[in-house]
């Protein structure tokens, strides 16, 4: 059955995953909290996925590509073991057999790649030294990916840092650690924010600062999978 969840990309959306119900996936031991979704079991989707210990998906091909961050535990497939802080891009036509012996939680985006993209990325963000951002006090950056359609990076915001960004092509933000306030919302660990095209971010980091994954410039290209 097709689902449309937070499918209007002209609207600002905030989701606190710990307030969202876990739903069973087709594979035993693998549950999901849906953040946005257009489609059925094959969908353009942004999701928090939880693997119980010793659970796994069967081998499959990523026709539309897969991008994920390990939030808890250790994710595993044929390419290796990926601890907390791992950022992975599996492009269209790639395949794997994902699972976790000890259990894990990941943030995952499906069917959101350029169909011609063949670049695979595997980065441990926790082992990559951030670079101070020019003319942005209290902000440092770990670049993750950039092409003609999008920019992906992790930013570290110092305690009480003021972060302002113009977002002509929209953006998504996921809190990896710490917290920040944006408008009337206080985003905490694993909170997700989507800002539409033409929006702005006016954020203030919490007293312990924040680590924030972000994807920029991609919303004009958002569309459901062609299946």
Q: What is the pLDDT of residue 64?
A: 87
Q: For strand 3-5 and strand 13-15, is the pairing parallel, antiparallel, or unpaired? A: unpaired
Q: What is the pLDDT of residue 224?
A: 67
Tell me where in the chain the CATH 2.60.120.10 domain(s) lie: 3-124, 128-221
Checking if the pLDDT of 153 tops 80, the result is yes
Architecture of domain 128-221: Sandwich (2.60)
pTM of the full predicted structure?
A: 0.95
More confident position, 220 or 177: 177
In residues, how long is the chain? 227
Percent share of the chain, pLDDT over 70: 98
Encode pLDDT of 188-204 as tens digits: 999 999 999 999 999 99
Q: What is the pLDDT of residue 226?
A: 56
CATH 2.60.120.10 is the classification of domain 3-124: yes
Encode pLDDT of 72-90 as tens digits: 999 998 889 999 999 999 9
Q: What is the average pLDDT across 113-120?
A: 90
Checking if the pLDDT of 227 tops 60, the result is no
b/e sequence 140-173, b meaning 16+ C-beta within 10 Å: bbbebbeeeebbbbbbbbeeebebebebebbbbb
Q: What is the mean pLDDT of the chain?
A: 94
* Cα distance between residue 82 and residue 205, in whole Å: 28
* Cα distance between residue 86 and residue 66, in whole Å: 14
């Amino acid at each position: 059955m097709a689902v449309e969840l937070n499918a209007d990309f002209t609207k600002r959306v905030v989701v606190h995953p710990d307030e969202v119900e876990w739903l069973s996936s087709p594979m035993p031991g693998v549950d999901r909290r849906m953040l946005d979704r257009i489609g059925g079991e094959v969908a353009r989707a942004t999701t928090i996925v939880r693997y119980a210990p010793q659970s796994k998906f069967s081998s499959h091909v990523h026709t539309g590509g897969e991008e994920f961050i390990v939030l808890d535990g250790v994710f595993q497939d044929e390419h290796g073991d990926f601890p907390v802080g791992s950022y992975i891009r599996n492009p269209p036509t790639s395949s794997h057999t994902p699972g976790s012996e000890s259990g894990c939680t990941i943030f995952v985006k499906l069917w959101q790649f350029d169909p011609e993209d063949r670049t695979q990325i595997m980065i441990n963000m926790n082992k990559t030294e951030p670079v101070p951002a020019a003319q942005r006090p209290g902000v440092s950056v770990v670049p993750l990916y950039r092409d003609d359609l999008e920019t992906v990076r992790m930013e570290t915001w110092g305690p009480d840092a003021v972060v302002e960004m113009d977002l002509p092509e929209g953006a998504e933000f996921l809190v990896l650690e710490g917290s920040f306030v944006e408008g009337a919302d206080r985003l905490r660990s694993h909170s997700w924010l989507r800002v539409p095209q033409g929006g702005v971010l006016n954020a203030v980091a919490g007293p312990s600062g924040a680590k924030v994954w972000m994807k920029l410039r991609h919303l004009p290209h958002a569309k459901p999978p062609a299946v």
